[in-house]
């Protein structure tokens, strides 16, 4: 009789843990907020800065994106749309930047910096447990679903209209 009671108690504990865990995950999804208040429609300038170079894109009056160079070249709209999606990323968790060692998570210096208008987004490494990426905006560090740093390290010529890079995750 004693072993049956222990089994029943174990089953009850398992059910309680499952019921506790599911609402926690649901709560995190509901509470996740965008990392910026920017609407992609309000973005008119994008810059991607890597260690070796900067790629700058500008939205013109015709609504199309162009690479800032001479002569001006139309940008690959598919890649631009993927970049604009970053503005809508949801923050899974956030920390004050002054409480973290930014160099340990490669935010100082950042692996890549993405700039929308005047908002700078620094991309660091992914954390090892869930694969979320550390990003910094101002004095806050966020964990977000990894957007694939490969897009940001794509060579500039792939951003020209008609080109499409092979992205390695």
Q: What is the DSSP letter of 80?
A: H
- Tens digits of per-residue pLDDT, 3-25? 788 888 888 888 877 766 655 55
Say how far apart CA 139 and CA 62 lie, in whole Å.
35
- Tens digits of per-residue pLDDT, 134-146? 999 999 999 998 8
Residues in contact with 19: Cβ distance below 8 Å, sequence separation at least 6, in sequence order: none
Mean pLDDT along residues 152-162: 73
pLDDT computed for residue 28 by the predictor: 58
Question: Positive or negative, the Cα torsion across 56, 167, 90, 108?
Answer: negative
Mean pLDDT along residues 38-60: 90
């Amino acid at each position: 009789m004693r072993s049956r009671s222990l089994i029943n108690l174990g089953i009850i504990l398992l059910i309680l843990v499952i019921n506790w865990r599911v609402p926690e995950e649901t709560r995190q999804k509901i509470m996740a907020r965008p990392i910026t208040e920017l609407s992609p429609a309000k973005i008119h300038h994008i810059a991607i800065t890597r260690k070796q170079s900067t790629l700058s894109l500008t939205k013109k009056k015709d609504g199309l994106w162009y690479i800032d160079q001479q002569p001006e070249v139309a940008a690959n709209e598919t890649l631009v749309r993927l970049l604009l999606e970053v503005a809508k990323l949801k923050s899974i968790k956030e920390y004050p930047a002054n409480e973290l060692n930014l160099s340990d998570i490669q935010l100082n210096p950042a692996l890549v910096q993405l700039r929308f208008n005047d908002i700078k987004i620094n991309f660091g490494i992914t954390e090892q447990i869930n694969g979320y990426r550390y990003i910094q905006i101002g004095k806050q560090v966020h964990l977000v679903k990894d957007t694939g740093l490969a897009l940001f390290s794509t060579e500039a010529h792939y951003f020209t209209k008609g080109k499409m890079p092979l992205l390695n995750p």
